[in-house]
């Protein structure tokens, strides 16, 4: 599905920011991710194999749970994605803290997660980070800097990308040549009936996320899905376009705490 991640994040960020804005005025906001575009992308996620890719597993499953209003489960899966360098999972955690969905509202923790999600400088993520920063007072900003320092060693790219790289290489080495996208202990977002063959699988022409195979279709051995450098480039490529997430207050971002990965340790 072309630009699937860009579609889902535009819907997610736009609807969550709208939710936050209306919450301040006491108005009732529409539930996020219930529009048709978001539903189409969620359906594509449900058809996509995530075998060997815990970042996608956390992201896709978290989004499904979030859309269903099961915020506790959504947080659980987003935290999985976040440990494996998935920036959408990290951003989603931040927005949940910002809006008090399944957790106590905490703009300081929200900012820290969003700042880490924005470290690769995706335009939407930076805009969201700066909008949240503008809402913090001086004390909260000091607390936010400390929170970023606390979370970054575990969830920042320096550690998380290395963790994801090891998983990609390990799982690729364990593949038995199947082109189905699944194995005995595989992880998938398909329904149990589809997974065990008692339910109808999606057609081979159905949309998936980033070309992830559907059972019986596609090539799980595609090199870009297993080579860390190619894989991260493909993930980043969905977010580098110039987009708008709605009207936002212009702020001086010079004081925003930003963590930079150690480029000398980047995975080649």
The least confident of 40-49, 156-165, 183-192 is 183-192
Give the Cα separation of 30 and 17 in Å (integer): 11
Task: Give how far Cα 156 sits from Cα of 8, 97, 116, 229, Å.
Answer: 22, 18, 6, 17
Whether the per-residue pLDDT at 154 is higher than 90: the answer is yes
Per-residue pLDDT, 220:
75
Give the Cα separation of 160 and 96 in Å (integer): 21
Model confidence, pTM: 0.80
pLDDT of 201-252, one tens digit each? Answer: 678 878 888 778 876 677 777 888 899 999 999 889 888 754 444 444 445 5
> Mind giving me the DSSP string for 51-66?
TT-HHHHHHHHHHHHH
Per-residue pLDDT, 70:
93
pLDDT of 75-133, one tens digit each? Answer: 999 999 999 999 999 999 999 999 999 999 999 999 999 999 999 999 989 999 999 99
Whether the per-residue pLDDT at 183 is higher than 50: the answer is no
Burial of 167 (0-12, 13-18, 19+ CB in 10 A): middle
The least confident of 34-48, 131-145, 231-245, 246-260 is 246-260
Contact present, 85 and 58 (Cβ < 8 Å): no
Per-residue pLDDT, 179:
39
Contacts for 27 with CB less than 8 Å, ≥ 6 apart: none
Domain ranges of the chain: 4-193+204-245
**Of 101, 107, 44, residue with least CA distance to 78:** 101
């Amino acid at each position: 599905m072309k630009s699937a991640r860009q579609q889902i994040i535009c819907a997610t960020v736009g609807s969550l920011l709208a939710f936050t804005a209306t919450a301040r005025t006491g108005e009732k906001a529409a539930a996020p991710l219930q529009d048709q575009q978001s539903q189409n992308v969620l359906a594509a996620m449900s058809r996509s194999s995530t075998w060997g890719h815990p970042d996608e597993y956390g992201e896709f499953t978290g989004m499904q749970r979030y859309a269903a209003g099961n915020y506790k489960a959504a947080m659980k899966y987003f935290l999985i994605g976040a440990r494996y360098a998935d920036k959408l999972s990290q951003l989603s955690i931040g927005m949940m803290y910002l809006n008090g969905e399944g957790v106590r509202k905490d703009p300081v923790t929200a900012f820290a997660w969003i700042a880490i999600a924005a470290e690769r400088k995706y335009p939407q993520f930076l805009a969201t980070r700066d909008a949240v920063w503008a809402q913090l007072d001086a004390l909260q900003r000091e607390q936010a800097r400390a929170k970023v320092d606390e979370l970054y060693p575990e969830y920042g790219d320096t550690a998380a990308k290395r963790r994801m790289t090891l998983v990609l290489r390990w799982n690729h080495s364990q593949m038995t040549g199947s082109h189905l996208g699944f194995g005995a202990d595989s992880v998938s977002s398909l329904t149990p009936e589809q997974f065990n063959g008692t339910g109808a699988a999606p057609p081979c022409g159905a949309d998936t996320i980033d070309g992830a195979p559907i059972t019986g279709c596609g090539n799980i051995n595609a090199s870009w899905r297993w080579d860390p450098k190619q894989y991260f480039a493909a993930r980043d490529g969905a977010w580098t376009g110039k987009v708008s997430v709605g009207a936002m207050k212009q702020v001086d971002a010079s004081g925003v705490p930003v963590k930079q990965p150690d480029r000398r340790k980047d995975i080649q």
